[in-house]
Structure 1
Amino acid sequence: MKEDKQLIKKVKQGSEAALEQLVSKYYEQIFHYSFRLLGSYEEASDATQDIFISMMKALSTYQERRKFKSWLFTIAYNRCMNSFRELKRSHLEMTVQQDDQGDGDFAERYVERKFVEDLVNTLPDIQKNALLLKYYHGLTAKEIAHITGVTTTTVKSRLYQGLQKLQKIVKDGE
């Protein structure tokens, strides 16, 4: 994106305003991605801060031939995978805060969202990660391949297998 390239150029020249714009532009996406992978608000907050600190430190190594968003998600992916290793998690649980108002629409959306989250959490991490990057963050298979360090064919296979497993679970549950 041209806008990203311009912001990066300004950041490299020392513009704090450009850095603020760049962080603001991607903060929410990176936080949500981290939250979906780590399952904890606190861990996602810490990870997001670490990701942007890493981004600032590594910005001089960023190569413009690659999309900035993909590069940033690579940093996020690596940081979250490091958290997995540190915490030695075998299973992730996602939490959603309940609304104390008891709104019927909210309750219905919460149940639907929780159902989907629980389904996705049954998948192996490699398939879950591919699906999150594709459907929650709108990345292409090629971008996901760059982020995860595998081939585009492998990403497509993980997406297909993950969707097939979800479809089977839903069918068997009916």
Structure 2
Amino acid sequence: MINDQLYIEKILKGNTNAYATLVDKYKVMVYTLAFKMVQNKEEAEEVSQDTFIKVYKNLSKFKGESKFSTWVYKIAYRTCLDALKKRKNKYNTDTIDEVTINKIKTTEGILESIEKKERAVVIKQCMQDLPEDERTILWMFYFDELSLKEIINVTDFSEANVKVKLHRARKRLLTIVQRKVEPELINHYGRK
């Protein structure tokens, strides 16, 4: 973006106040990603600060080969991964074999019966049970609306790897949704 490039040039010429403008522009994006990945407010704030320190220190390395926002997102993503490695959280992983086409269709039917807002809440809650890499890629694709190319750029995964992870994450998410939501709906509608 031309606007970003103007600020980058000002910063590289010594105008550190121009950096505050870039931080303001991207702080919500960085914090949102960090919070979704590390799932802790304080740690997300720390990761955000670390990200902007890294962006500042490496600003001269930005060559404009991708959008500046993608470059910042990539640094934030890697900073989150570093934080997660330090913590070594373990996430619940269901086997993909549990998912069949029938289960997927049943779960999709269940989701259609839930109001749109409720559906988003249910999906976000169920996403918490996904492994971090799958949850993050789903989040990037559906909520941050990054293209496959941008996800590849951020994660450094191959196109095939991103597609496989998206496919697996969707299947695993549907299994989780079915396991969590179906009993609640049966109980809810069974009592009426």
Fold equivalence (TM over 0.5) = yes
Map Cα deviations across residues 65-124 of structure 1 (whole Å, 9 max, x no partner). 1221111111111111111111111139xxxxxxxxxxxxxxx99976653233112222
* Count of aligned pairs: 159
Instruction: Report whether the alignment pairs 1:161 with 2:168.
Output: yes
* More moved, 113-122 vs 39-48: 113-122
Instruction: Report whether the alignment pairs 1:135 with 2:181.
Output: no
- List structure 1 segments (4+ residues) > 4 angstroms apart after TM superposition: 108-114
Instruction: Report whether the alignment pairs 1:144 with 2:151.
Output: yes
Matched residue type, 1:67: K
TM-score by length of 1: 0.81
Matched residue type, 1:137: D
Specify whether residues 42 and 113 from structure 1 end up closer, same or farther in structure 2 by C-alpha distance, changes over 3 A only.
Answer: farther
TM-score by length of 2: 0.74
Once residues 109 and 167 of structure 1 are traced to their aligned partners in structure 2, the CA distance between those partners, rounded to angstroms, is 16
Q: State the Cα distance separating 1:160 from its structure 2 match.
A: 2.4
Q: State the Cα distance separating 1:153 from its structure 2 match.
A: 2.5
Question: What are the within-5 Å matches in structure 2 for residues 107-118 of structure 1?
Answer: 115-118=122-125
The alignment's C-alpha RMSD in Å is: 2.3
SS of the equivalent of 2:58 reads: helix
Map Cα deviations across residues 13-65 of structure 1 (whole Å, 9 max, x no partner). 22233211111000011001100110110000111001000100011111111
Please point out which of 115, 119, 132 is paired with 1:125: 132
Once residues 139 and 10 of structure 1 are traced to their aligned partners in structure 2, the CA distance between those partners, rounded to angstroms, is 28
Which one has the largest radius of gyration? 2
Specify whether residues 142 and 29 from structure 1 end up closer, same or farther in structure 2 by C-alpha distance, changes over 3 A only.
Answer: same
Once residues 87 and 167 of structure 1 are traced to their aligned partners in structure 2, the CA distance between those partners, rounded to angstroms, is 27
Aligned counterpart, 1:100: none
Matched residue type, 1:5: Q
Question: What are the within-5 Å matches in structure 2 for residues 1-174 of structure 1?
Answer: 1-91=1-91, 115-171=122-178, 173-174=181-182
Specify whether residues 91 and 171 from structure 1 end up closer, same or farther in structure 2 by C-alpha distance, changes over 3 A only.
Answer: closer
* More moved, 34-43 vs 143-152: 143-152
The percent of aligned pairs where both chains have the same amino acid is: 29
Specify whether residues 21 and 144 from structure 1 end up closer, same or farther in structure 2 by C-alpha distance, changes over 3 A only.
Answer: same
Once residues 130 and 13 of structure 1 are traced to their aligned partners in structure 2, the CA distance between those partners, rounded to angstroms, is 36
Stretches of structure 2 lacking an aligned partner (at least 5 in a row): 93-114, 183-192
Specify whether residues 88 and 110 from structure 1 end up closer, same or farther in structure 2 by C-alpha distance, changes over 3 A only.
Answer: farther
